[in-house]
Structure 1
Amino acid sequence: MIEVIGVPGSSEYQAALLIRDALTKTWRGIDTSPAGEEHVKIAASVKLSGQKVSDIDVVVAGLFRTKRYLVPRSNAKDVDGNSIVGAKVRVRSFVVAVEVKEHSSDRMRIEAGGINVKYAGGWKSATQQNDDQAHALKGHFQDTTRSSPWVYRCVALLGIPELPRTRGIQQPNAGAVASLFDGLEFLMAAATVLGIRKINGEHAISSGNEELMEQVLSDGLFQQLRPSSLDRRRMDRIASRPEVARQLGSLLGKQRVHLRGHGGTGKTILLLQAAYEAFLDRGVRSVILTYNTALAADIQRTIALMGIPSDGDAGGITVRTVMSFMYSWLDKLGLGREGDIELSKYEEECREANEYFESGAAGPEEVARIRKEHHSELGFDAVLVDEAQDWPQSEADLLATLYGGSAIALADGFSQLVRGKATDWKSSVIGEPRDGERSLRDGLRMKASLAKFANALADEAGLQWKLSPSTEAPGGRVIIRIGRYAQMDDLQRDVLASAIMDGNMPVDLLHCVPPSEVKSNGLHRSSALAESFYRKGWMAWDAVDELTRRNFPRSSEALRVVQYESCRGLEGWITVLDGLDEAWQLARNSIKTLQSAEHLPAEAADAAAWLRTMIPLTRPIDTLVITLRDRDSRMGQVISNVAARLPDIVEIQH
């Protein structure tokens, strides 16, 4: 069986069909054989999340339980460099990352076994790009399968009918095919990059054993993404092209853009709108940096659904976690060890990098060289910073040195400090225009009643915090119950049914849980709530696990579960805050510990904990469900008082 996944019409999808046809002609009947015997999946325009490279033109994976062979015609070598032309090579399984290029021969150079193609900005290595994609794909499967398949690579040069030859030898001798390729040429081009190995005494192409390849073939990247109602609303907002986004988009990458506002005022979505405008109008390539891995995955899902390129040479939008991005730079500067992130040393390493530049050991020329050589990973025109108020100062200073203060756009949350002192970003744009500054006050995410509830709770807690309720979105409700949401089967079913009746999908719901609801077996973490969903036969994106939250939910049937610390920037049509009083108490305790050295009064920790609590309280759109462990807790008392003030909005269930 052969399956092709993707949206017809693109060059990537056309390449996927060419690969399908090539394999079908090579092995008769492979397209109609049972999946239990031989199964090939070909996905076009694949989006990855949590990797340094986000876009792969085509991913091909296959598992053959029947005996399928190839007989190489030329250029085939084993891992020791010996020719195996004319020998039988068994095809057991394969995973291939394919980069598609449509350049004509006069815009292509093949040198030292590598392919370079010409763009408006100069020559770029398609081979290096494809190699980076293969590493990213391997990293993706390590996250999702907890194992490591052997990933091959191949560049499909669809702009030329056949590869050139030098003294009768095809160039390059591995890792590429021209447009008139067959199945033998495709698989041998991919496999001979690293050489053909021997398995059980015979030459073989294999990416992994049957168990691993079954996991690969069932991976979510081979599932067609389907937007939910909430996805469509978010996509429509980004593509709506409001005037303020046009204004900010015209400045992005050239002048500082700075958005400030409470949670729920639309800072992140406005940054995305501006990035989309800059991409459409000027071909700007932007990267969004966030500490929140779950938010990075959420944004990547939206980008994937909209078909916005991430690594395109004509611009695009990608998203990276901050530390991963900065460690890439530290590695390229020779100041860090790639992939070895040590939180205790991170700020110190950023300070050392700043000193490296201040001493003159490196300068703009080296930065420009690195950005050009590693274009897919680091070559961005604009850098969008989420939760900018919470960055370590050394990290912010280094980013400004690498890209310039004017290329940086900020989303800055009022009263949303989690890590300590607010970051100074102004020093990198002293004396420059301030046309890109905007203060956002209206509650754009929440329906009006939810904003009123948040305002009332902040007032009851003694905070100077307020949102302007939306005049365009009336309604909204709050449900309060005592206990653990994982044990409230009736409420779970009512909440899901309500969302679906409103035209939403399970993925449109957001569930926040405290640490007491999370357990670990040493390999991965899971939540009691997700387990309660599984028992009902429901799907879940259980992002309390670090590797899970690096990859966005690819099914709209998956209910999202995150810990409180991962909820910033996310939203849900219905948002469930499980054990909110426990989350408040934990925040208070951690803040009190940090503040003890400064001899601050207990009231300061209380106020900081309330401010932190306003973050999850501003995640819902239509309905907010809060469960409390103790109705007599401080949080329980505050909510009871708010419920008395707003009886038409708040429903306390028993």
Structure 2
Amino acid sequence: MSVIIRVIGAKPESEEYQAARKIKSILEQAFDDGVTGEIILHANANIVGQSVKDIDIMMMGSIQNYSVNVDFTNVIGQVDHGEVEVQNFCTAIEVKSHSRSGIYRQGTEIFVKYYNGPHSATTQSNDQKNSIHNFFERSFSSTTTFVGIPYISNFIFFTGITTQELNDILSVGEGPIPSNAVAADCTAKDIFQILIHQRTPGFSESRNRYYSSSFNDRWSTEQIDNLFEQFTAAVDGCGALTRKRIEQITSEKLQGNIDNVSIDKMTICRGRAGTGKTIALIRKAIKLVDDDGARVLILTYNNALASDIKRLFTLADLPDMFQPACVDICTMQSFFFKLINKSLYDNSLSGEDYLRQYDSLLEEFIQFLSDDDTRDDLLNMLNKDAYLNWDYCFVDEAQDWTTAERDILLRLFGNNLLIADGGNQFVRSVEGCDWNIVSERTSIKLKKSLRQENNLITFINELIGMIDTNSPKISSNDIMPGGQVTIQEGNLDSVICRIKEEIAYMKKCGNVEYDMLMFVPNTYVDSENRCFKYNSQFMRNDILVWDGTNNEIRNNYPITSDEIRVLQYESGRGLEGWSVVCIELDTFIENKLSHFKANKTDSFLLESEADQRMKYLINWLLLPLTRPIDSLIITFKNKESDVAKAVYNLAEKHPDFIFLQRSNIK
């Protein structure tokens, strides 16, 4: 036999690897010595950058001299039966080991039973197919190396039942309905029948025969190998900073460790930027999944932060979403939309109407929850929906939530809440959300910065102290010396030149382009096309950009590590970078101050409008300045602005770590 079939990926003892070996055996039995080519079965493939990242088995192959007799649609659109030559294929395989009693059909969907309710294997299989397609589209659409994006087929492999049992499940009337499922005793013909059913075969007039092909052309073995390398490239090249964050997640020792804190009452984890709150949430979520089989929802209001956490989950090989034991991360707006849309509007509410009526819809939902009977009905409904049924809810940056958002979570999750509170770090308002209304709670205090090197903390404390001498100071970490600040003067070409130097420095430190964050004011965003205005200028200078100013892109994390992250300042909460570039910091601050409105609520009776404005200014300054670990680069549009003058004064005071770099580009 001349077909080489390789199984790669997962550990040999894993269920997916054993299923891949079974498929290999099935295919080997079908190929005689005249069939040539190569097939790769990648068990537990990680599709970086997609909402569904774990693919049980990714099968891809290119073969010659093999045909199979199957049903298919011919060139005139009629169902026919005959010989079809199989040339190549790219297939997502979902593996289920359930016995007959754990599988049932509802309409055309096949469901499997888990301890926490039914799960649609059909939907999961289709989601995996879409994830692979989106991954290839993002990876290769702009390259000329590959001969087009392959068509992705998919099927479910039930390893715990026979074909007869599967047909019983699928039977309607005289026989089974068509499906994309096969059983443990299936044949190669059964598999290829599904693949050919999903994509109409082509017809070669010169050869007078039908053929099945997923690619635009026959791919070489080298091209297939290169494609599979894409699954591991992002993980292997993630950079030292990401590896450090993964180590923090898996480390046994971390300040204020909450791993062993029992969540029998609401827990509040308090700390300023960089003290490890988000890492603490991730660690606790994983522990609950591993130890208790719990399902944990992590909520934030920042799409970029949600994407960054998902990237960490992928690179650390942490549990995937919507599995029997799982963690999910999404924005609170996304979760509330699914919740309100299903419970109050039977999924008829549009996204536009939801955003326009957001506050009133939250109040309507609170009233709905106020009635015990309707609340119980809602909880029963949620128990049947894997996207809404969660045992625990973890809330990031909880100080910036509204009272209505808080009250909904308290009514839904009760004591099963873990709150990360960043103190006086407000973006959405000048008044923090009070979670202390829950009398029975556990509080954990994180005091020291785990992110920033000492010189950066000195810079921040002294800059904020120039605005308000009574403002709380960030506590430094004695084991993190170093750090520098650069004031970059000149035009954008000068800034790009400095960024290239910084990227080279980062790489010497073991980091990658992803570890650079660049914040821009709204004047750097093309409002019509919703993208970073100067993307092409950066690309001409060999700097690739992950454009987080684009909403659609910001919802998905980068699939490679060779792009710097560009975001508007407002999207920076919770993120970090080895090096951070603040473009026209003064433009951003002045824009924010122009929108300042004093809060007239009772909680501020003892605080003047000037005090509120000062606190508002400090909050917005802290957002970008607390993002870097090692290096901070700042540009100003106007050197005479208040914030520029303050930074220049600090440069004169600390010439050992605050540097002025003038432009050498005319």
Q: Which residue of 1 aligns with 2:155?
A: 154
Q: Distance in 2 between matches of 1:279 and 1:627?
A: 44
Q: Which residue of 2 aligns with 1:510?
A: 517
Does the CA-based 8 Å contact 2:518-2:566 persist in structure 1? yes
Q: Which residue of 2 aligns with 1:35?
A: none
Residue 94 of structure 1 and its aligned partner are, at CA, apart by 7.3
**After alignment, is 178-187 or 201-210 more displaced?**
201-210
Work out which of the residue numbers 623, 641, 648 in structure 2 matches 1:640. Answer: 648
Q: Match for 1:558: what amino acid? A: E
Q: Is structure 2 residue 247 aligned with structure 1 residue 236?
A: yes
Work out which of the residue numbers 359, 366, 379 in structure 2 matches 1:367. Answer: 379
Residue 171 of structure 1 and its aligned partner are, at CA, apart by 5.5
Q: Distance in 1 between matches of 2:493 and 2:21?
A: 45
Does the CA-based 8 Å contact 2:598-2:612 persist in structure 1? no
Q: Which residue of 1 aligns with 2:220?
A: none
DSSP-derived class of the 2:549 partner: coil
Deviations 1:358-384 (A, max 9, x none): 24562224323323x222x22322111
Work out which of the residue numbers 415, 423, 447 in structure 2 matches 1:441. Answer: 447
Deviations 1:281-302 (A, max 9, x none): 3233222111111111111111
Match runs of 1:133-282 below 5 Å: 133=128, 153-160=154-161, 162=163, 164=165, 165-166=167-168, 173-189=178-194, 225-226=235-236, 227-242=238-253, 247-252=258-263, 254-282=264-292
Q: Distance in 2 between matches of 1:246 and 1:361?
A: 39
Match runs of 1:11-26 below 5 Å: 11-13=15-17, 15=19
Q: Distance in 2 between matches of 1:603 and 1:245?
A: 32
Q: Distance in 2 between matches of 1:337 and 1:222?
A: 40
Residue 231 of structure 1 and its aligned partner are, at CA, apart by 1.2
**After alignment, is 584-593 or 42-51 more displaced?**
42-51
User: Once the two structures are aligned, what percentage of the paired residues are identical?
Assistant: 29
Q: Distance in 1 between matches of 2:176 and 2:619?
A: 62
Does the CA-based 8 Å contact 1:455-1:466 persist in structure 2? yes
Deviations 1:52-78 (A, max 9, x none): x564434567899x99976426xx789
**After alignment, is 270-279 or 338-347 more displaced?**
338-347
Q: Distance in 1 between matches of 2:228 and 2:536?
A: 21
Residue 629 of structure 1 and its aligned partner are, at CA, apart by 1.7
Q: Which residue of 1 aligns with 2:473?
A: 466
Q: Match for 1:410: what amino acid? A: I
Q: What are structure 2's unaligned runs of at least 5 residues?
A: 143-148, 218-222
Q: Match for 1:565: what amino acid? A: E
Q: What are structure 1's unaligned runs of at least 5 residues?
A: 33-39
Q: Is structure 2 residue 79 aligned with structure 1 residue 98?
A: no
Does the CA-based 8 Å contact 1:332-1:370 persist in structure 2? no
Q: Is structure 2 residue 580 aligned with structure 1 residue 575?
A: yes
Does the CA-based 8 Å contact 2:651-2:659 persist in structure 1? yes
Q: 1:411 to 1:356 in 2, by over 3 A?
A: same
DSSP-derived class of the 2:38 partner: coil
Does the CA-based 8 Å contact 1:46-1:58 persist in structure 2? no
Q: Which residue of 1 aligns with 2:56?
A: 57
Q: Is structure 2 residue 495 aligned with structure 1 residue 456?
A: no
Does the CA-based 8 Å contact 1:110-1:116 persist in structure 2? yes
Q: Which residue of 1 aligns with 2:70?
A: 72
Q: Which residue of 2 aligns with 1:551?
A: 556
Q: Which residue of 1 aligns with 2:630?
A: 622
TM-score by length of 1: 0.82
Does the CA-based 8 Å contact 1:196-1:204 persist in structure 2? no
Q: Which residue of 2 aligns with 1:307?
A: 317
Q: Distance in 2 between matches of 1:232 and 1:624?
A: 21
Q: Is structure 2 residue 437 aligned with structure 1 residue 415?
A: no
Q: Match for 2:374: what amino acid? A: A
Q: Which residue of 2 aligns with 1:488?
A: 495
DSSP-derived class of the 2:351 partner: coil
DSSP-derived class of the 1:374 partner: coil
Residue 242 of structure 1 and its aligned partner are, at CA, apart by 2.9
Does the CA-based 8 Å contact 1:458-1:610 persist in structure 2? yes
Q: 1:197 to 1:129 in 2, by over 3 A?
A: same
Bigger Rg, which one: 2
Q: Which residue of 2 aligns with 1:652?
A: 660
Deviations 1:315-346 (A, max 9, x none): 33221122122211123214253662442212
Q: Match for 1:374: what amino acid? A: D
Residue 170 of structure 1 and its aligned partner are, at CA, apart by 7.5
**After alignment, is 487-496 or 120-129 more displaced?**
120-129
Q: Which residue of 2 aligns with 1:36?
A: none
